[in-house]
Copies of this chain bind each other. A is one copy, B any other.
Amino acid sequence: MSASHSSSSSLVFSSHNHTSSSMVNTLALTPDSTTSSPTSLAGHMPQMDGGPYGHSMGGHPRTTDSRGGEQMMGLAYLPYSGCLTSTTSERPAQHGHIVQQEFSQFLLPPPPSALRQPGQKRSLSKDSMEYRLRRERNNIAVRKSRDKARRRILLTQQRALQLEEENHRLQLTIEQLSHEVDTLRHYLSQRHLQSKVDDLGAGENC
């Protein structure tokens, strides 16, 4: 639960810069400590949980823009808060989040011709509108993706808990049934003996 994030980073158009180096590190995750379990599914879980995950059902979730994906609960990635018509319309800053960039006006109608001028195709200067647009879109995508991941994780946890509970119930049921079987068996064996005794008695009697 963090709180307002009044980051001072400001970031008004490029400041951040931070030069992150990006050295891609390769997901290490040693088997080492903790659970020596098989871990066979290390990489990705093919299915598991499924949850909100696509798998389509008919079509690709994506279809240009997708966006129709999950829309339950409050999702707040979207740069605009509602009325997109007017110029400014930044995301409502869910948590303070002062960042607000004022290039917002560019977000909506991307004049095709304006983007990327003929001369500089592959440069993508950080000052370019194109760059800013890409960044902003990616930021939205990132927020969305993480939200999804969070939900998925939560779901998995809940599922695990549920399963644990059910497991417990099943165990109890099994105990009960086992006990019942024992009782019946015992009873039956008694009956069996009784019958024999009866038979014997009958034979003797007559």
User: Does A19 lie within 8 Å of B46, measured CB to CB?
Assistant: yes
Q: A30 to chain B: which residues have CB within 8 Å? A: 34, 73-75
User: Does A12 lie within 8 Å of B184, measured CB to CB?
Assistant: no
User: Does B17 lie within 8 Å of A62, measured CB to CB?
Assistant: yes
A28, B71: Cα distance in complex, Å: 8
Which residues in window 97-151 of A have CB below 8 A to B?
Answer: 125-127, 147, 150-151
Q: A37 to chain B: which residues have CB within 8 Å? A: 26-27, 158
Over the window 164-196 of chain A, the binary record of Cβ atoms lying under 8 Å from chain B Cβ atoms (1 yes, 0 no) is 101100110110011011001101100110110
User: Which size bracket describes the interface of A in this complex?
Assistant: 35 or more
Which residues in window 1-39 of A have CB below 8 A to B?
Answer: 10, 12-15, 17-32, 34-39
Q: Shortest beta-carbon distance, A171 to chain B, in Å? A: 7
- A83 at interface (Cβ–Cβ under 8 A)? no
User: Does A161 lie within 8 Å of B29, measured CB to CB?
Assistant: no
Partner of A161, one of B18, B41, B66: B41
Which residue numbers of A lie inside 8 Å of B, CB to CB? Answer: 10, 12-15, 17-32, 34-42, 44-46, 48-52, 54-57, 59, 62, 64-69, 71-76, 125-127, 147, 150-151, 153-161, 163-164, 166-167, 170-171, 173-174, 177-178, 180-181, 184-185, 187-188, 191-192, 194-195, 198-199, 202, 205-206
